[in-house]
Amino acid sequence: MTHESGSSAHGREFDPSAYGRKIADVYDTTVEQLPTDAAVDRLHELADGGPVLEFGIGTGRLALPLAARGLAVAGVDGSAEMVEVLRSKPGGDRIPVTVGDFAATRVEGEFALVVLALNTIFALPSQDAQVNCFRNAAAHLRPGGRFVVEAWVPDPAAFRNGSALRLLSLSEDTVLAEAARLSTADQMMYTTKIRMTAGGLRLLPANHRYAWPAELDLMARLAGLEREHRWSDWTGTPFTDDSRTHVSVYRL
């Protein structure tokens, strides 16, 4: 694992380790409900034999099953704590991970697929940083390689007076809720997840500089990428007026 500090890409102070530092020990419990198998199936198909680079590899939710299917997988993540969880899992010590900001960090090699899943493009705090991320993804691709971005579609109508509170998951042991505030002027959504268990409360903050799919398409074009697909989920459901999320595939 190597270390790089990567805030220069953003033009203002930004700490790519902040999210992971606060959530690493419980992160996996917050993503149990996600359609991980469908995502892995689709990524495996798009990699076309690999190799794969995952920006924001985290605890290996996608990377470990992709590696288990025989693909060479590498990662970049801002948080040493998240990578430590990945390392503790079977096969985790065989995945090379560079700790740094994925808008700026370069790793060795040319890849068939670069992946940026689960809205993590919005973790970058500005349009400039997001454009840099698309350029960085393109710089890691071999000719014909793909960059896959999974993100939600902004939905200001879900907010009342600029704020929203929603239940994310509920079991007898754990309740996960999210409080969110929207700033439409600067396209920011500030959220704190609240994880409630018998052991107490945990507050898990995350800020998002959100962008509509069309803005992401323009960032891709600035980086020399063309859109190949847009689905509303990993199974390939068509993207429509009602889609609240998208999986977009860009090609070099």
Ligand X SMILES: C[S@@+](CC[C@H](N)C(=O)[O-])C[C@H]1O[C@@H](n2cnc3c(N)ncnc32)[C@H](O)[C@@H]1O
- Footprint of ligand X on this chain (CB under 6 A)? 16, 19-20, 31, 56-58, 61-62, 76-79, 82, 101-103, 117-118, 120, 123-124
Q: Which is nearer to ligand X, 67 or 76 (CB)?
A: 76
Task: Please report how many Cα atoms fall inside a 13 Å half-sphere around the Cα of residue 64, on the Cβ side.
Answer: 15
Q: How far is the CB of 238 from ligand X (least distance, A)?
A: 23
Of 78 and 145, the one with the shorter C-beta distance to ligand X is: 78
Give the nearer residue to ligand X in terms of CB position, either 56 or 145. 56
3-state DSSP of 143-208:
EEEEEEEEEECCCHHHCECCEEEEEEEECCCCEEEEEEEEECCCCEEEEEEEEEECCEEEEEEEEE
* Min CB(8)–ligand X separation in Å: 12
Q: Which residue has the tokens 């509303």?
A: 232
Minimum Å gap between C-beta 120 and ligand X is 4
Task: For ligand X, give the closer residue by CB, 162 or 168.
Answer: 168
For residue 182, how many other CB atoms are within 10 A of its CB? 21
Q: What is the maximal distance between C-alpha atoms in the chain?
A: 52
The distance of closest approach from Cβ of residue 143 to ligand X in the complex, given in angstroms and rounded to an integer, is 25
DSSP label of 34: S
Residue 147 class from Cβ within 10 Å (0-12 exposed, 13-18 middle, 19+ buried)?
buried
Tell the smallest beta-carbon distance from residue 207 to ligand X (Å): 10
Which DSSP state fits 239?
Answer: P
Q: Is the dihedral of CA 237, 112, 207, 96 positive or negative?
A: positive
Whichever of 88 and 226 has its CB closer to ligand X, that residue is 88
- Rounded least distance, CB 28 to ligand X, Å: 8
46 vs 76, beta carbon nearer ligand X: 76
Based on CB atoms, which residue is closest to ligand X, 2 or 226? 2
Sheet of 188-197: strand order equals: 163-170, 175-183, 188-197, 200-209
Distance (Å, rounded) from C-alpha 228 to C-alpha 2?
33
Q: How far apart are CA 74 and CA 54, in angstroms?
A: 6
Task: Kindly state the smallest distance separating residue 6's Cβ from ligand X, in Å.
Answer: 7
